[in-house]
Amino acid sequence: MAIFYNEEQRLFHLQAKDTSYIMQVVKKGYLTHIYWGKKVRNINPEQLLVFRSGVFSPHHDLEDKTYSLDTLPQEYPSYGNSDFRTPAYSIELSNGSTLTDMRYHAHRIIKGKPTLEGLPATYVEQQEEAQTLEIEMIDTLIGLKMILSYTVYEDLDVITRHVKFMNEGNEKLKILRALSMSIDFNKSDFDVMHLSGAWARERHIERRSLRIGNQSIESRRGASSHQHNPFIALMNTDATEDSGEVYGFSLVYSGNFLAQAEVDQYQSTRVSLGINPFEFSWMLGVKESFQTPEVVMVYSDKGIGKMSRTYHKLYRTRLCRGKFRDTTRPVLVNNWEATYFDFNADKIEDIAREAKDLGIELFVLDDGWFGKRNDDTTSLGDWRVNTNKLPGGLDDLAGRINHLGLEFGLWFEPEMVSVDSDLYRAHPDWCLHVPNRTRSEGRNQLILDVSRKEVQDYIINVVSNILKSASITYVKWDMNRSMTEIGSGVQVPERQKETAHRYILGVYRVMDEITKAYPNVLFESCSGGGGRFDPGILYYMPQTWTSDDTDAVERLTIQYGTSIVYPASSMGAHVSAAPNHQVHRNTSLKMRGDVAMSGNFGYELDLTRFTNAEKEEVKKQVASYKGVRELIQFGDMYRLLSPFEGNETAWMYVDEAKDEAFVAYFRVLGTPNAGLSYLKLKGLDPHKDYFIEGENTCYGGDALMYGGIVIPELEGDYQSVVWKIKKK
Ligand code: DGJ
């Protein structure tokens, strides 16, 4: 059993694989946080929870002034009743006040993990995999009920949390803030880590020490964003990749979010994460309920690497769904950087013919195949094939590609509309907008109001019709701008601030319907690269285009940073031309291949321009990737050297049985007269012996990990070496 309740102490003890999470109902029904960390058999709550009054801290409990809510470690706190720290939620009542007083009412412990209505979430396949605790908190004065849900996975150090608000009173309420979790740590000597960046340099690792006051990251762009990923971690200041305690928080949501860490006057730390309260509110009518997204909390006692591997396993196996969750992903070629908008059926067929020769399995036709789209100013919304470019239509083109022996994939950007489109001319109110205000354009386009049911239905129909019209087995689902003028033509004024969240719920419905109707299609999401690389989208689409930046050096930081939370099977990674189109750097074909192999491998350049020597090299790359893709896509990842710390990067993948490994090493700039470098491997079985492919010597797993392997002498910039290792 994973969840225990001690009636006498009113104590909840949640036990995940090697983790304990303990809460207690104290005094007049306040739910306090006692402990989260390495698994313990038991904790006497008094050992950690000390009731303190605090100077200048008012008392809410007038009969017992030995404590104040301001000093109490709480599970889901509010503002206004004497706790001055960041609240987890805020509700406006009809009298204008935002005071609520939620007390413990009841709880249930249930097998398995209930689904979240309308929202993506991690799941179980067998009831035995997890247990869920639902704690009911009630404000009897206004009839507001909150259900705090906690799920514990038996075999992973994972606890998930979310909250449901239910209005069981007689007055309308307005939710102003509804974060998915809050937790109070009894210390503040932590470092905080998050993944931040910009278009073409997504998810760079930021780590710094936590300071007194509030530190936060957030998105206000309508999507989870290139700028900040919905993830934050706290760790001991001496935590490394392989040692020290790390606490990860990852939000299963694709819209505006807020992640906060607040260190208070007594050096306690409050971490909270959820939908961004900025410009958000939600009317909660009588008998209505509101469900927050899920937060996945991971504890690691062995550094950042173990936290990442826990996220990878959970997201790979119990967040991603469908046939492709467990299927190796095809090697693809995408024509975007090869042709941009300038192509026709013959050009596409030429590239596909070369691709077949090189061992590539899937051709993806990117932007420009529909309407009169020859640049980015037009036609989004008009999902009809452009017969000037593809005279025989999609069916004919897909047939030609299939005939060559490749599968056929197609690009869409279904959430958008061009002003110059039949769709916009027919339905100018179908976009996000505010009456009489300028409709700001991003990449010359507007955003469809996907919060509206008829818009959702339109997208479902139009995409389905195309998917039915040709043999399409892969879809790239793009989304290329941030939200502005976030208003909906169908909402009453008091509900306008619900629009951004309703949009995301609409996207989820659309994606759910389409992906369920086409279970044999592999869906890859994209948002100008990695602008919506989050667990919410991964629930529907098991892979994401990691970044529009395909430069091999840039990709080291992007893919390394992304791997902090997301598995290799979720990352699209392509070899592109040199000089690179984003940074104009000339890297070797070998390094470009080796970097892209650490993900869902593909090419994104004009294959017909390869020299014969390049073709031979690429053939070998493709064959070699096919030999290790299962390991990369489904193995455990160990990071060895960080691109954020120097000139060298290395990582490796090991299968579950620890029989095979793939190691990749990259050196960005050449070093004059360099000494020898050794790379210490990780994750192997110290008791097993291994062969390195291409060598005859047998090495102990222990020797490879504790002694390391020598890196061959490399000449010049942009060098890489990969090793395949097999058990003797
Ligand atoms: C942005 C994507 O990230 C690119 O890969 C490409 O699909 C373009 N959109 C097409 O417009």
Strand (E) positions, 555-599?
571-576
Residue 360's beta-bridge partner residues?
none
- Counting atoms of ligand 1 from 1, which one is nearest the CA of 527? 3
- Counting atoms of ligand 1 from 1, which one is nearest the CA of 476? 7
393 inside domain = no
pLDDT band for 399, please (50, 70, 90 cuts): very high
Residue 662's beta-bridge partner residues?
653, 724
Q: What burial class does residue 117 get, using C-beta atoms within 10 Å of its C-beta: 0-12 exposed, 13-18 middle, 19+ buried?
A: exposed
Confirm or reject: Cβ of 75 under 6 Å from ligand 1: no
Q: How far is the CA of 367 from the centre of ligand 1 (A)?
A: 7
Confirm or reject: Cβ of 548 under 6 Å from ligand 1: yes
**Best mutation site among 411, 482, 580, 600 for ligand 1 pocket (most ligand atoms within 8 Å of CB):** 411
Q: How far is the CA of 42 from the centre of ligand 1 (A)?
A: 53
What sign does the CA torsion over 211, 201, 320, 725 have?
A: negative
Mean pLDDT of 52-75: 92
Q: How far is the CA of 537 from the centre of ligand 1 (A)?
A: 17
Q: How far is the CA of 478 from the centre of ligand 1 (A)?
A: 7
Query: How many C-beta atoms surround the C-beta of residue 220 within 10 A?
Result: 17
What tens digit of pLDDT does each residue of 258-298 get?
A: 999 999 999 999 999 999 999 999 999 999 999 999 999 99
The CATH number of the domain where 661 resides is what? 2.60.40.1180
Which structural domain, as residue segments, surrounds residue 662? 648-727
- With beta carbons less than 8 A apart as the criterion, state whether 725 and 691 touch: yes
Confirm or reject: Cβ of 535 under 6 Å from ligand 1: no
- Counting atoms of ligand 1 from 1, which one is nearest the CA of 528? 3
371 inside domain = no
CA-nearest of 621, 599, 715 to 667 is 715
Of residues 696 and 204, more confidence is placed in: 204
Q: Which two tokens stand for residue 663?
A: 């190691």
Please determine, for residue 12, whether its predicted confidence score (pLDDT) is greater than 90.
yes
Q: Which two tokens stand for residue 335?
A: 């024509």
**Best mutation site among 474, 548, 550 for ligand 1 pocket (most ligand atoms within 8 Å of CB):** 548
Confirm or reject: Cβ of 524 under 6 Å from ligand 1: no
Mean pLDDT of 311-336: 98
CA-nearest of 81, 243, 100, 71 to 165 is 100
Query: What percent of the chain lies above the pLDDT cut of 90?
Result: 98
**Best mutation site among 226, 335, 336 for ligand 1 pocket (most ligand atoms within 8 Å of CB):** 336
580 inside domain = no
Alpha-carbon distance 313 to 325, whole Å?
11
Q: Which of 293, 318, 343 lies at the terminal end of a domain, its last residue?
A: 318
In this prediction, residue 1 carries a pLDDT of 62
Q: Which of 318, 344, 364 lies at the terminal end of a domain, its last residue?
A: 318
Q: Which residue has the tokens 């902090």?
A: 564
96 inside domain = yes
Q: Which two tokens stand for residue 432?
A: 């996000």
3-state secondary structure of 310: helix
Please tell me the total number of residues recorded for the chain in this structure. Answer: 728
Confirm or reject: Cβ of 418 under 6 Å from ligand 1: no
Please determine, for residue 25, whether its predicted confidence score (pLDDT) is greater than 70.
yes
606 inside domain = no
Confirm or reject: Cβ of 79 under 6 Å from ligand 1: no
pLDDT band for 55, please (50, 70, 90 cuts): confident
Alpha-carbon distance 627 to 630, whole Å?
8
3-state secondary structure of 557: helix
Q: How far is the CA of 147 from the centre of ligand 1 (A)?
A: 41
- For the chain, the average pLDDT equals 97
End-to-end Cα separation, the chain, in angstroms = 39
Active site residue 478: yes
230 inside domain = yes
Q: How far is the CA of 602 from the centre of ligand 1 (A)?
A: 15
The CATH number of the domain where 101 resides is what? 2.70.98.60
pLDDT band for 255, please (50, 70, 90 cuts): very high
Q: How far is the CA of 395 from the centre of ligand 1 (A)?
A: 23
Mean pLDDT of 180-197: 98
Q: How far is the CA of 385 from the centre of ligand 1 (A)?
A: 18
Mean pLDDT of 535-551: 98
- pTM of the shown model: 0.98
In this prediction, residue 54 carries a pLDDT of 81
What tens digit of pLDDT does each residue of 591-624 get?
A: 999 999 999 999 999 999 999 999 999 999 999 9
What tens digit of pLDDT does each residue of 416-470 get?
A: 999 999 999 999 999 999 999 999 999 999 999 999 999 999 999 999 999 999 9
Q: Which of 318, 349, 367 lies at the terminal end of a domain, its last residue?
A: 318
Sorted by sequence, the CB contacts under 8 Å of residue 58 that are 6+ apart come out as 68, 70, 82
236 inside domain = yes
Confirm or reject: Cβ of 530 under 6 Å from ligand 1: no
Q: What burial class does residue 95 get, using C-beta atoms within 10 Å of its C-beta: 0-12 exposed, 13-18 middle, 19+ buried?
A: exposed
Confirm or reject: Cβ of 525 under 6 Å from ligand 1: no
Alpha carbon nearest to ligand 1 atom 11, residue: 367
Report CA Rg, the chain.
27
Q: How far is the CA of 368 from the centre of ligand 1 (A)?
A: 10
Alpha carbon nearest to ligand 1 atom 2, residue: 528
- With beta carbons less than 8 A apart as the criterion, state whether 248 and 460 touch: no
Alpha carbon nearest to ligand 1 atom 9, residue: 528
Confirm or reject: Cβ of 449 under 6 Å from ligand 1: no
**Best mutation site among 480, 537, 576, 580 for ligand 1 pocket (most ligand atoms within 8 Å of CB):** 480
Alpha carbon nearest to ligand 1 atom 3, residue: 528
- Counting atoms of ligand 1 from 1, which one is nearest the CA of 526? 3
Question: Is residue 579 reached through a cis peptide bond, with omega within 30 degrees of 0 on the bond before it?
Answer: yes
Q: How far is the CA of 653 from the centre of ligand 1 (A)?
A: 29
Alpha carbon nearest to ligand 1 atom 10, residue: 367
Q: Among the options 548, 549, 594, 636, which is catalytic?
A: 548
Mean pLDDT of 139-151: 98
Q: How many domains does the chain have?
A: 2
Q: Which of 42-56, 65-79, 479-493 has the lowest mean pLDDT?
A: 42-56
Alpha-carbon distance 121 to 145, whole Å?
22
Q: Among the options 184, 367, 420, 478, which is catalytic?
A: 478
Confirm or reject: Cβ of 572 under 6 Å from ligand 1: no
Sorted by sequence, the CB contacts under 8 Å of residue 370 that are 6+ apart come out as 379, 382, 383, 384, 385, 386
Active site residue 342: no
**Best mutation site among 415, 545, 547 for ligand 1 pocket (most ligand atoms within 8 Å of CB):** 545
3-state secondary structure of 399: helix
What tens digit of pLDDT does each residue of 633-659 get?
A: 999 999 999 999 999 999 999 999 999
Q: How far is the CA of 459 from the centre of ligand 1 (A)?
A: 19
In this prediction, residue 658 carries a pLDDT of 98
109 inside domain = yes
Please determine, for residue 546, whether its predicted confidence score (pLDDT) is greater than 70.
yes
Please determine, for residue 567, whether its predicted confidence score (pLDDT) is greater than 80.
yes
**Best mutation site among 526, 532, 550 for ligand 1 pocket (most ligand atoms within 8 Å of CB):** 526
Confirm or reject: Cβ of 526 under 6 Å from ligand 1: yes
Alpha-carbon distance 408 to 494, whole Å?
46
pLDDT band for 480, please (50, 70, 90 cuts): very high
Confirm or reject: Cβ of 528 under 6 Å from ligand 1: yes
Q: Which two tokens stand for residue 691?
A: 């062969």
